Amino acid sequence: DSGVTQTPKHLITATGQRVTLRCSPRSGDLSVYWYQQSLDQGLQFLIQYYNGEERAKGNILERFSAQQFPDLHSELNLSSLELGDSALYFCASSPRTAYEQYFGPGTRLTVT
Amino acid sequence: QQQVKQSPQSLIVQKGGISIINCAYENTAFDYFPWYQQFPGKGPALLIAIRPDVSEKKEGRFTISFNKSAKQFSLHIMDSQPGDSATYFCAASKNDKLIFGTGTRLQVFP
Protein backbone atom coordinates (compact mmCIF):
# COMPACT_ATOMS: atom_id res chain seq x y z
CA ASP A 1 0.00 0.00 0.00
CA SER A 2 1.55 3.28 -1.17
CA GLY A 3 -0.48 5.46 1.20
CA VAL A 4 -2.10 7.32 -1.70
CA THR A 5 -5.86 6.89 -1.91
CA GLN A 6 -8.09 7.47 -4.89
CA THR A 7 -11.87 7.48 -5.20
CA PRO A 8 -13.90 6.17 -6.81
CA LYS A 9 -12.29 2.95 -7.92
CA HIS A 10 -14.57 2.58 -10.93
CA LEU A 11 -16.70 5.12 -12.75
CA ILE A 12 -19.06 4.51 -15.65
CA THR A 13 -20.64 7.50 -17.33
CA ALA A 14 -22.01 8.66 -20.66
CA THR A 15 -20.49 10.85 -23.32
CA GLY A 16 -20.89 14.55 -22.67
CA GLN A 17 -20.98 14.15 -18.91
CA ARG A 18 -18.64 15.56 -16.27
CA VAL A 19 -16.90 13.61 -13.53
CA THR A 20 -14.60 14.36 -10.62
CA LEU A 21 -11.83 12.08 -9.47
CA ARG A 22 -10.39 12.48 -6.02
CA CYS A 23 -6.92 11.83 -4.64
CA SER A 24 -5.49 11.99 -1.14
CA PRO A 25 -1.69 12.04 -1.08
CA ARG A 26 0.55 10.31 1.42
CA SER A 27 0.78 12.09 4.73
CA GLY A 28 3.30 14.90 4.44
CA ASP A 29 3.60 14.83 0.65
CA LEU A 30 3.15 18.27 -0.90
CA SER A 31 3.20 17.30 -4.58
CA VAL A 32 0.37 15.60 -6.41
CA TYR A 33 0.59 14.34 -9.98
CA TRP A 34 -2.14 13.08 -12.28
CA TYR A 35 -1.59 10.53 -15.02
CA GLN A 36 -3.75 8.91 -17.65
CA GLN A 37 -3.05 5.31 -18.63
CA SER A 38 -4.58 3.84 -21.73
CA LEU A 39 -3.67 0.79 -23.78
CA ASP A 40 -2.44 2.76 -26.77
CA GLN A 41 -0.86 5.75 -25.02
CA GLY A 42 0.79 4.24 -21.99
CA LEU A 43 1.26 6.43 -18.91
CA GLN A 44 0.79 10.07 -19.80
CA PHE A 45 1.56 12.87 -17.38
CA LEU A 46 -1.33 15.31 -17.11
CA ILE A 47 -0.60 17.87 -14.43
CA GLN A 48 1.24 18.48 -11.16
CA TYR A 49 0.35 20.54 -8.11
CA TYR A 50 2.71 21.51 -5.34
CA ASN A 51 1.27 22.79 -2.07
CA GLY A 52 -1.85 24.09 -3.75
CA GLU A 53 -0.27 25.64 -6.83
CA GLU A 54 0.01 24.30 -10.34
CA ARG A 55 3.65 23.37 -10.95
CA ALA A 56 3.81 21.55 -14.28
CA LYS A 57 1.51 20.68 -17.13
CA GLY A 58 1.69 17.78 -19.51
CA ASN A 59 -0.68 16.52 -22.16
CA ILE A 60 -3.81 17.68 -20.41
CA LEU A 61 -6.83 18.50 -22.55
CA GLU A 62 -8.63 21.81 -22.10
CA ARG A 63 -11.72 19.82 -21.07
CA PHE A 64 -9.76 18.57 -18.06
CA SER A 65 -8.84 20.61 -15.01
CA ALA A 66 -7.44 19.94 -11.59
CA GLN A 67 -6.90 21.61 -8.28
CA GLN A 68 -5.23 20.95 -4.97
CA PHE A 69 -6.96 22.01 -1.80
CA PRO A 70 -5.49 23.42 1.46
CA ASP A 71 -5.62 19.95 3.02
CA LEU A 72 -3.50 18.80 0.02
CA HIS A 73 -6.06 16.47 -1.48
CA SER A 74 -6.56 16.94 -5.19
CA GLU A 75 -9.40 16.60 -7.64
CA LEU A 76 -9.27 16.00 -11.37
CA ASN A 77 -12.31 17.24 -13.25
CA LEU A 78 -13.12 15.77 -16.65
CA SER A 79 -15.89 17.40 -18.67
CA SER A 80 -17.62 16.90 -22.02
CA LEU A 81 -16.46 13.32 -21.84
CA GLU A 82 -15.71 11.40 -25.00
CA LEU A 83 -15.33 7.69 -25.60
CA GLY A 84 -11.59 8.18 -25.94
CA ASP A 85 -11.36 9.45 -22.37
CA SER A 86 -11.95 5.92 -21.13
CA ALA A 87 -8.77 5.02 -19.27
CA LEU A 88 -7.16 4.46 -15.91
CA TYR A 89 -6.42 7.69 -14.09
CA PHE A 90 -3.65 7.58 -11.52
CA CYS A 91 -2.70 10.04 -8.88
CA ALA A 92 0.80 10.03 -7.42
CA SER A 93 2.36 12.02 -4.63
CA SER A 94 5.88 12.89 -3.60
CA PRO A 95 7.46 14.87 -0.77
CA ARG A 96 8.92 17.56 -3.01
CA THR A 97 10.09 16.60 -6.46
CA ALA A 98 9.28 14.07 -9.13
CA TYR A 99 12.17 11.86 -8.12
CA GLU A 100 10.16 9.53 -5.93
CA GLN A 101 6.52 9.29 -6.82
CA TYR A 102 4.09 7.02 -5.02
CA PHE A 103 1.09 5.98 -7.04
CA GLY A 104 -2.44 5.37 -5.89
CA PRO A 105 -4.54 2.39 -7.03
CA GLY A 106 -6.18 4.38 -9.82
CA THR A 107 -9.69 5.17 -10.98
CA ARG A 108 -10.98 3.25 -13.97
CA LEU A 109 -13.19 5.53 -16.07
CA THR A 110 -15.45 4.04 -18.68
CA VAL A 111 -17.31 6.40 -20.99
CA THR A 112 -20.20 4.80 -22.87
CA GLN B 1 8.53 16.04 -27.60
CA GLN B 2 10.71 14.44 -24.98
CA GLN B 3 10.56 10.69 -25.38
CA VAL B 4 11.70 7.55 -23.69
CA LYS B 5 11.73 4.49 -25.92
CA GLN B 6 11.35 1.11 -24.27
CA SER B 7 11.81 -2.42 -25.61
CA PRO B 8 10.74 -5.13 -25.86
CA GLN B 9 6.99 -4.69 -25.61
CA SER B 10 6.65 -8.13 -24.09
CA LEU B 11 9.07 -10.67 -22.68
CA ILE B 12 8.71 -14.31 -21.74
CA VAL B 13 11.37 -15.79 -19.48
CA GLN B 14 11.73 -19.11 -17.77
CA LYS B 15 12.02 -19.22 -14.00
CA GLY B 16 15.62 -18.69 -12.96
CA GLY B 17 16.50 -16.84 -16.15
CA ILE B 18 17.60 -13.25 -16.66
CA SER B 19 15.06 -10.66 -17.82
CA ILE B 20 16.47 -7.65 -19.65
CA ILE B 21 14.48 -4.54 -20.55
CA ASN B 22 16.03 -1.65 -22.44
CA CYS B 23 15.28 2.04 -22.63
CA ALA B 24 16.72 4.92 -24.62
CA TYR B 25 16.19 8.63 -24.14
CA GLU B 26 16.83 11.74 -26.17
CA ASN B 27 17.04 14.65 -23.76
CA THR B 28 20.44 14.92 -22.09
CA ALA B 29 18.89 17.16 -19.43
CA PHE B 30 17.19 14.19 -17.75
CA ASP B 31 18.79 13.63 -14.37
CA TYR B 32 16.92 10.76 -12.77
CA PHE B 33 15.96 7.40 -14.24
CA PRO B 34 13.53 5.24 -12.25
CA TRP B 35 11.95 1.91 -13.04
CA TYR B 36 8.39 1.17 -11.98
CA GLN B 37 6.68 -2.19 -11.59
CA GLN B 38 2.95 -2.51 -12.12
CA PHE B 39 0.80 -5.52 -11.31
CA PRO B 40 -2.65 -5.89 -12.88
CA GLY B 41 -5.22 -3.71 -11.14
CA LYS B 42 -2.58 -1.80 -9.18
CA GLY B 43 -0.76 1.47 -9.55
CA PRO B 44 2.90 1.56 -10.61
CA ALA B 45 5.37 1.12 -7.76
CA LEU B 46 8.91 2.47 -7.70
CA LEU B 47 11.32 -0.45 -8.06
CA ILE B 48 14.79 1.03 -8.44
CA ALA B 49 16.30 4.25 -9.74
CA ILE B 50 19.62 5.65 -10.90
CA ARG B 51 21.23 9.02 -11.51
CA PRO B 52 23.40 9.63 -14.60
CA ASP B 53 26.64 9.95 -12.62
CA VAL B 54 26.47 6.23 -11.79
CA SER B 55 26.90 3.43 -14.33
CA GLU B 56 25.25 0.66 -12.36
CA LYS B 57 22.98 0.21 -9.36
CA LYS B 58 22.00 -3.09 -7.81
CA GLU B 59 19.22 -3.85 -5.35
CA GLY B 60 18.76 -7.52 -4.67
CA ARG B 61 17.96 -9.28 -7.94
CA PHE B 62 17.35 -6.00 -9.76
CA THR B 63 20.15 -4.07 -11.50
CA ILE B 64 20.08 -0.90 -13.56
CA SER B 65 22.87 -0.42 -16.09
CA PHE B 66 23.31 3.12 -17.36
CA ASN B 67 25.24 4.23 -20.45
CA LYS B 68 25.33 8.00 -20.51
CA SER B 69 27.18 8.37 -23.81
CA ALA B 70 24.70 6.10 -25.60
CA LYS B 71 21.74 7.62 -23.73
CA GLN B 72 20.53 4.15 -22.82
CA PHE B 73 19.69 2.34 -19.62
CA SER B 74 18.44 -1.12 -18.88
CA LEU B 75 16.87 -3.21 -16.13
CA HIS B 76 18.21 -6.68 -15.43
CA ILE B 77 16.22 -9.08 -13.29
CA MET B 78 18.39 -11.95 -12.18
CA ASP B 79 16.94 -15.34 -11.20
CA SER B 80 13.53 -14.26 -12.51
CA GLN B 81 10.57 -15.61 -10.54
CA PRO B 82 6.89 -16.09 -11.44
CA GLY B 83 6.12 -13.36 -8.89
CA ASP B 84 8.10 -10.92 -11.06
CA SER B 85 5.43 -11.25 -13.77
CA ALA B 86 4.21 -7.68 -14.20
CA THR B 87 4.52 -4.67 -16.49
CA TYR B 88 7.72 -2.68 -16.11
CA PHE B 89 8.06 0.97 -17.03
CA CYS B 90 11.25 2.92 -17.37
CA ALA B 91 11.07 6.66 -16.92
CA ALA B 92 13.21 9.77 -17.06
CA SER B 93 12.80 12.90 -15.04
CA LYS B 94 13.64 16.58 -15.27
CA ASN B 95 11.94 19.57 -13.70
CA ASP B 96 9.18 17.74 -11.86
CA LYS B 97 8.09 15.71 -14.84
CA LEU B 98 8.36 11.97 -15.26
CA ILE B 99 8.34 10.79 -18.86
CA PHE B 100 7.47 7.11 -19.04
CA GLY B 101 8.40 4.48 -21.55
CA THR B 102 5.61 2.45 -23.12
CA GLY B 103 6.05 -0.51 -20.79
CA THR B 104 7.22 -4.13 -21.03
CA ARG B 105 4.96 -6.96 -20.05
CA LEU B 106 7.10 -9.63 -18.41
CA GLN B 107 5.86 -13.19 -17.97
CA VAL B 108 7.98 -15.64 -16.01
CA PHE B 109 7.01 -19.27 -16.42
CA PRO B 110 7.87 -21.96 -13.86
The partner residue sitting opposite B98, judged by closest CB among A2, A45, A102, is: A45
> Are the Cβ atoms of B100 and A97 closer than 8 angstroms?
no
| pLDDT number for residue A67 | 97
How many CA atoms within 13 Å lie on the side-chain side of A12?
A: 1
Q: What is the pLDDT along chain B (110 residues), one digit of tens a residue?
A: 558 999 999 999 999 999 999 999 998 889 899 999 999 989 999 999 999 999 999 999 999 999 999 999 999 999 999 999 999 999 998 877 888 999 999 999 99
- According to the model, what pLDDT value does residue B2 have? 56
Say whether residue A43 is in contact with chain B using an 8 A CB cutoff: yes
CA–CA gap between residue A67 and residue B28 (Å, rounded):
31
Cβ pair B96:A42 closer than 8 A? no
- How many angstroms separate the CA atoms of B58 and B49, rounded? 9
CB spacing of A45 vs B97 below 8 angstroms: yes
Beta strands in B1-110 (DSSP E): 4-7, 10-14, 19-25, 33-38, 45-50, 56-59, 62-67, 72-77, 86-94, 97-100, 104-109
Q: Give the number of beta-carbon pairs within 8 Å between A and B.
A: 58
Residue B81 CA to residue B73 CA, distance in Å, equals 22
Q: What's the mean pLDDT in A82-96?
A: 93
